Amino acid sequence: MPRHVTVAAAQLGPIQKDHTRAEVVERLVVLLQRAHSMGAELVVYPELALTTFFPRWFVEDIREADHWYERSMPNEATQPLFDEARRLGVGFCLGYALLDEQPDGSVHRWNVQTLVERDGSIVGTYKKTHIPGHEHHEPDRPFQHAERYYFEPSPDGFPVWRAFDGIVGMAICNDRRWPETYRVMGLQGVELVLIGYNTPIHYVPDPSQDILQGFHNALVMQAGAYQNGTWVVGVAKGGVEEGVDSLAQSMIVAPSGQIVAQTLTTDDEVVVARCDLDWCAKYKNTLFDFDRYRRPEVYGPITGQRGVALPE
């Protein structure tokens, strides 16, 4: 039986600070219905798809930011999305901030994506691994990117799940720039990688990269797809959010590395692609036949060290 899954990249335009969860969920439902009418079985939303990108502001007492986080999923605010998705028989992947309160009183703050199957069951929740930005207030910046203050890096790595008749993995925003992200999933046979992102066009530490944001976005996802023989779906929250312009250019990339669908606007927009999961094998069994051609015995530094070790 050939395996095809029609996937939608459900891009969001900006979510401003005073937009309520109810308003945002209404937009997510509209995108879901549009995607369904285009034949989608799986709808992928961006990173932090329920709120504005709040790490652009610093608060001295982190608990003042707790209202940006969800305490459970689904919850009262997102239940309408879960209900409509189940009614339509459509799965989805949703990014949000999670406040994880443990019975021992410890609290963890994660940047996560939850994958939901077509029958409404939760497949899994991925926690962001590579947390970019800074830990402390940097008042000289035009806007903050204090993700390292608001989120812990996940200790879990990159699991994959059997879902949507294939092998599915997830990554979040900055994760997409790191080849290890795709390769760890590639080594588990991944066929579909779902990635939400919020990428400000202005990169404060090195503005010479601003003009290259779109190029780098495509470069890393196309390379990740091709080098691991997998589909990659990258979905933006784009446009001008609270004065900060963010990259859109959501895309669906084939295992060949070719972009097969891409958004044209910086607003709420859906693009779909019919993904042939068996296409992955063409790459996994030839050029990227890992078992035949990889040389893990000489790749030690990849997991053995973090930074650069210069030669003598």
Binding site for ligand CDV (CB under 6 A): 47, 132-133, 145, 173-174, 177, 197-199
- Report, in Å, the least distance between residue 132 CB and ligand CDV: 4
Nearer to ligand CDV, 215 or 299 (CB): 215
Nearer to ligand CDV, 177 or 183 (CB): 177
262-284 burial, b for 16+ CB within 10 Å, e for fewer? bbeebebbbbbbebbbebbeebb
Question: 12: which strand partners?
Answer: 237
- Report, in Å, the least distance between residue 211 CB and ligand CDV: 14
Rounded to whole angstroms, the Cα distance separating 86 from 72 reads 18
Active site residue 93: no
Active site residue 312: no
Rounded to whole angstroms, the Cα distance separating 82 from 27 reads 13
Active site residue 275: no
Nearer to ligand CDV, 91 or 133 (CB): 133
Catalytic residue among 47, 70, 84, 191: 47
- Report, in Å, the least distance between residue 180 CB and ligand CDV: 14
- Report, in Å, the least distance between residue 86 CB and ligand CDV: 29
Catalytic residue among 93, 173, 275, 280: 173
Question: 196: which strand partners?
Answer: 172, 235
Helices (H), 38-146: 79-88
Degrees to nearest 5, angle at CA 245 with 243 and 246:
135
Nearer to ligand CDV, 145 or 284 (CB): 145
**The two structure tokens encoding residue 76:** 């009262």
Q: Is the peptide bond before 74 cis (omega within 30 degrees of 0)?
A: yes
Catalytic residue among 128, 147, 269, 284: 128
Catalytic residues: 47, 128, 173
